[in-house]
Amino acid sequence: MRRLLAFLTFFANVAARAQLPIHDPVMIKEKNTFYLFSTGMGISVFSSGDLQHWNRERPVFSQPPQWALDAVPGFKGHIWAPDISYHDGKYYLYYAVSAFGKNTSCIGVAVNGTLDAADPAFHWEDKGKVVQSVPGRDMWNAIDPNLIVDSAGVGWLAFGSFWDGIKLVRLAPGLEAVARPEEWHTIARRPRDFNEPDSSAGTAAVEAPFIFRHGGYYYLFVSYDYCCRAEKSTYKVVVGRSVDVRGPYLDRSGVSLVQGGGSLVLQGDGVRWYAAGHNAVYSADGKDYFVCHGYDVSAKGQSRLILAEVKWVDGWPVVDAGP
């Protein structure tokens, strides 16, 4: 009951922050400015100095990358689920292009030396395709990327949606290609009826991985159930943790996320939000911030920004119920 009340209080307190229409947000800070990147034409970008008031910036891409047009038939430039991070003097922006409901999908990466569009050095350089999934060949889907650099300085890319779950692949130095020899792991999945067609994958509703390192553990957040259905959305965020970035990721009860486990972090309450999911966690100014999108009851299920502080209780993330 205490945790349920915390969820309800949280949802009430973030109402003032939830007016920004957004989907699949990630956040990072450069100097005194926070930046949000999200699904949209050319990748949507917003900036803020106070985490309350957001300004729309120019999209990352003014024209769709040619390699993406070639790889995904019917792709028109609507880019999904970006992931932003900073390493060795550069910002790395991974992103997904896909045919909806199919695993005809690719993950690309672009780099920039700054996020300040007024800086003369500002320029997104697209490095092209990193991973591709092909129907009939792959039982995984190359969308929803997330970069994690482990304690040894090795880069890994987590990604996946439905099909056979969430994958983790080791990246080469430079973080722009898969390492050779290849090293792949399954880090989360849900049971699936393999008699279902690939276009359905309805019983394997897991996606949007995000790995965050804290206190000697890697925490894998994933979203269960369904997004993108307005008031019928059922999205929620669960988590597991591991001492090894490769897993196994176990929930509070010791159940592996590969076996369908996952401890609840956030879900809709049916009063303020129908559902909430596709999260990211980012550290700034001595705080850990949780961002995701929720389906707003007061706006007929439109997708809005949710942003709150994360607290750590007994080694597990709890979304802060305060303002």
Q: Name the active-site residue from 83, 176, 207, 320.
A: 207
Pairing state between β 44-48 and 33-38: antiparallel
Active site residue 207: yes
Tell me the three-class secondary structure of the chain, residue by residue.
CHHHHHHHHHHHHCHHHCCCECCCCEEEEECCEEEEEECEECCEEEEECCCCCCEEECCCCCCCCHHHHHHCCCCCCEEEEEEEEEECCEEEEEEEEECCCCCCEEEEEEEECCCCCCCCCCCCEEEEEEEEECCCCCCCCCCCCEEEECCCCCEEEEECECCCCEEEEEECCCCCCECCCCCEEEEECCCCCCCCCCCCCCCCCEEEEEEEEECCEEEEEEEECCCCCHHHCCCEEEEEEECCCCCCCECCCCCEHHHCCCEEEEECCCCCEEEEEEEEEEEECCEEEEEEEEEEHHHCCEEEEEEEEEEEECCEEEECCCC
Query: How crowded is residue 100: how many other Cβ atoms within 10 Å of its Cβ?
Result: 11
CA 147/CA 212 separation, integer angstroms: 10
Active site residue 125: no
Q: Name the active-site residue from 24, 176, 251, 296.
A: 24
Q: Active-site residue numbers?
A: 24, 207
